[in-house]
Amino acid sequence: MSAATAGSTIQIHVLFFGAARDAAGAEEMDIELKTPATAATAREEILAAYPELQRFGKSLLFAVNQEYAEALRSIDDGDELAIFPPVSGGSDAGTAGILPA
């Protein structure tokens, strides 16, 4: 896909996963972004459209075309942007530190 001219717009497809999907109240959507577009500018637009996502702060993860994206990652017309909530894990308190026999 070719880069758009500065000042024009592009369309991207956005997917929401996990708690981000619940906060947005949607599984997916298409949005229009002004160019040049980056993961950071897409984040700003999406947080403005879905303020409930702001509760995750800067810990939301973004992937562009199935690759995790840094803030300055450029986004082109037709790209797919996936949004993930913070990933956390832990151990079951009852089995923490216990190795199988």
pLDDT digits (tens, 9 = 90+) for 22-68: 999 999 999 999 999 999 999 999 999 999 999 998 889 999 999 99
Q: Name the nearest CA neighbour of 37 among 71, 84, 63.
A: 71
Domains in the chain: boundaries = 9-84
The better pLDDT of the pair 37, 1 is held by: 37
Distance in Å from the first CA to the final CA of the chain: 54
Burial of residue 7 (CB within 10 Å: 0-12, 13-18, 19+) is exposed
CATH of 9-84, one of 3.10.20.30, 1.10.3720.10, 4.10.490.10, 3.30.420.40: 3.10.20.30
Q: Evaluate if pTM is beyond 0.85.
A: no
